Amino acid sequence: MPKAKDDLKPGHVNLKMLAEHLHLSQTTVSLVLNNSPAAKSIPLETRRRVLEAAERLNYRPNYFARSLRQSRSMSVGVLAPDLSEGYFTRVMSGVVEELTRAKYFYFTACHDWQPELMSQYPRMLVERAVDGFLLLNTPAELDVPVPVVAISAHGTEPNVTHIVLDHMKAVEMALRHLHLLGHQRIAFMRGPKVIPDSDFRWEGVEKSAQTMQLQLDPALITRIDSGAWSEKTGHHPMSPEIGYEPMKQLLARTRDFTAVFCFNDIAAIGAMRALAEVGLRVPHDVSVVGFDDIQSAAFFTPSLTTVRQPLNEMGKRGARILLERIANPDATELVAEVVMEPELVVRESTGKAKA
């Protein structure tokens, strides 16, 4: 068996150089490095030599050349408004888990709801030859030549698979819980207009309230846009301020409510702070319900009652579907929508309504 040449130094070594160094054909080396089923016919000792040399010489495959051969770049583009604590971190943890397992690389771009970035980033990612797009809480109005999976976006665009929560069921769970505790005067904190989930969730509130004969008092409805998401302060990543400001404004007008249902947990945490500042106790004076079940929701005092979205699983499912669509580009059967189930998590922030 010929010995490997000793004239190569670690660094920029391509397949041809590695094959010559080992006195093997490029096909043999490629089969071993790609762990191809056909590599089983290659002697174990030869396979070991190839892997050892590749590691010692710091061989890196030429992904661009490979992508031209396979028509794949082994990368996807992930678009999100921001990656702040809460919804995005939980969804991304599931996305990353699946993509890493599939040996896929990912580019994450945050558009911060800026229209020019929302149109510019998809183009830039297509130029980087991504095999598909995963959208987190971002409208799926993309004109791209690759598969698209959108999480929490809602819509009926061609070429897009939507992963959505059953918002009707989610809202109904929360309102029924408050109703059973005797709450009739419930304040609502609606989500920002830009977020696709906001209108779907509010539609669920209106329908559920009608079914339960709960009065929706316009004086008790606030919207996150009017607080920390206003033009005055500009859009910024989700922070508890998005719930703190609207709750302060509501309390300045009225205290005639016994519960508040917030658009998400981050807003609920801000709302609880505003309530505490005016001497109202949660849940003794006001019950608070959040939405999402972010990691820190269970560790606040009081711990937060919330509607759990299976965010990690939504991320995993979205990534899996995208990878399947990339692997089978000619599949005629496109799943247009996957509906995920919510769960009510009752903790310390809700209690019986004050008489």
The amino acid present at 192, given as its one-letter code, is: P
Enter the tokens of residue 281. Answer: 């106790």
Q: Name the nearest CA neighbour of 114 among 253, 18, 254, 235.
A: 235
For residue 31, what pLDDT is reported?
83
Compute the chain's Rg from CA coordinates. 26
For residue 62, what pLDDT is reported?
56
Query: For the chain, which residues score pLDDT lower than 50?
Result: 1-5, 63-64, 226-235
For residue 169, what pLDDT is reported?
97
Q: Name the nearest CA neighbour of 144 among 118, 162, 111, 112.
A: 118
* Residue 272 Cα to chain centre, angstroms: 25
Q: Write the CA distances from 282 to 16, 149, 171, 303, integer angstroms.
A: 69, 39, 21, 10
For residue 335, what pLDDT is reported?
85
For residue 11, what pLDDT is reported?
59
292: left (phi over 0), alpha (psi -120 to 50) or beta: left
Judged by DSSP in three states, 276 sits in: helix
DSSP 8-state assignment for residue 332:
S
For residue 227, what pLDDT is reported?
40
Helices within the chain (DSSP H only): 15-22, 26-33, 44-56, 63-70, 87-101, 115-127, 167-180, 197-211, 241-253, 265-277, 311-327
Phi, psi of 135 (to 5 degrees): -110, 130
For residue 77, what pLDDT is reported?
97
For residue 83, what pLDDT is reported?
85
